[in-house]
Chain A
């Protein structure tokens, strides 16, 4: 089936980028894999309509962001089709300060974190973030400023010389 071959091609090309995005959103490999898998299943079900009408990657990222902030994610979780291996964080974040900031992100409510990821990782303007998350631009701005304030506060509590947690 030609549709399936195009879908396969899309997944093969973009799955790793989606996993990175899922990791940025959730902060852990299991949720990253879970979000990616669920969004791709939904994409597949909508594939004949989505492909040709819009950018499937963007479509998938919108689903992932919305899933991540939705109640759905806390209620229901399907078994993963594969067990993602963990990469030690200090391999990619050797600096203590960077690790602290990453850990401080964990303390944020999901919506605040999602807004920061869309703004600083995906580099989206606020209007697009509002569209992705289905919230108003005013809410985007308030989540961003609250999130940034919390990060500043969290980082200020730690001394810069704190040891490596891993």
Chain B
């Protein structure tokens, strides 16, 4: 038998596996319920309001308003804080930051929904339309000064293949498609044209979590396991970035470990490495800290006492927050918090200036509300739909004083 042990193993494990239990028909429902309850626990512990506050679950389901990021799955409705601690209601975002907020039509003239992707430049948004959920079928440029929409290109992808990780630079737009065994990179001129594959000397086996243009090269990091690579914008050799074999792109030239996705609640981007200068940065994480999300200069999380905190990566300027940012701070300064009753909507908070603005979102009759979550790896764009309009917030246009 031992000579054929390897063949025997294939047969025996394969046959034995046939006696595995069958999935119950309601397994999807059970799994989703469990996932949401766990999310609730996460939210409940990061919410950690005033000591007297109680967190109850409204049972509502929030929709993701941002394509590829994990959306909070359960709306949590904090009980009212004692009146002495009740926050004052912030003004609407468009009044708090008039230079940074725009409301634009949510649909093309022929009726298809437009979904913002990234800023192409200060005054131009890249938009996409979808053939089906998250399956982009065309790209558009939207000029914020003139409100003109211009089609850039159509995108055609096979069934089950999605264009993702859009980025722009050097007058072009880049993205990836992930098929079973390989990932392809694509580009199209911002001015318009047909998408063209960016040829690579070796096949890319893994999907990227982020693409970014750096000079005359396209950089990307592998979603699973990390690893940062670059390829010339016109294609060629895929070159690993030295000393970044397990890293994920945070904000070029900063790459780090672990990435944004940390399934076991490890601190995200605890270690950073500057691929241009070689500078290293390890974030201070105290014993008992949980849900730590670090950016280029800051970290947020929940401390051992259950209090949400903000601090710089080196541990300085630490202070408590009313809530913790589930996905970390965008631009190292922005997060959303829930508004107190009776509004129960969401506010965008700038931790640098202390200003906050009401996003205008409110729970519907069923208690469900879209949640906007800026995060560490998101760029300057925050967007959501409100009353048939798209609200566009350019975080880069919010002054820091």
Contacts and interface: CB of A to CB of B under 8 A. Distances in A.
Choose among B11, B13, B29, B64 the residue with the greatest number of A CB atoms under 10 Å from its CB: B13
A32 B11 contact: no
B326 to A, nearest CB: 11
A24 B224 contact: no
B39 interface: yes
A101 B261 contact: no
A79 B268 CA distance: 28
A97 B162 contact: no
Contact of B27 (A3, A11, A55): A11
A98 B223 contact: no
Interface stretch (B2-10, B49-57, B269-277, B352-360): B2-10
A19 B22 contact: yes
Contact of B68 (A33, A49, A62, A120): A49
B13 A121 contact: yes
A32 B21 contact: yes
A7 B21 contact: no
Choose among B10, B31, B39, B70 the residue with the greatest number of A CB atoms under 10 Å from its CB: B31
B70 A46 contact: yes
B286 interface: no
A165 interface: no
Interface residues of B, number: 58
A53 B27 contact: no
B144 interface: no
B16 A102 contact: yes
Contacts, number: 180
A92 B16 contact: yes
Contact of B133 (A6, A29, A63, A102): A6
Q: 9 smallest A-B Cβ distances: which pairs?
A: A84-B21, A23-B20, A15-B23, A52-B162, A87-B19, A20-B17, A44-B35, A8-B28, A11-B28
Interface of A: 1-4, 6-8, 11-12, 15-16, 19-24, 27, 29, 32-33, 36-37, 40-42, 44-49, 51-55, 59, 62-63, 72, 78, 81-82, 84-89, 91-93, 97-98, 101-102, 105, 116-117, 120-121, 123, 131, 134, 148, 151-152, 155-156
Given A48-B64, A102-B13, 18 more contacts: A3-B64, A6-B133, A8-B28, A12-B28, A23-B16, A23-B20, A33-B21, A45-B35, A46-B70, A46-B261, A48-B69, A49-B70, A54-B206, A82-B30, A84-B21, A98-B11, A121-B14, A131-B225
Interface of B: 1-2, 5-6, 8-25, 27-32, 34-35, 38-39, 61, 63-64, 67-71, 73, 133-135, 162, 164-165, 178, 180, 206-207, 209, 223-225, 261, 263-264
18 contacts: A8-B28, A16-B20, A29-B20, A29-B21, A41-B31, A45-B70, A48-B64, A48-B71, A52-B134, A52-B135, A78-B34, A86-B21, A102-B16, A105-B12, A120-B10, A120-B13, A123-B10, A148-B6
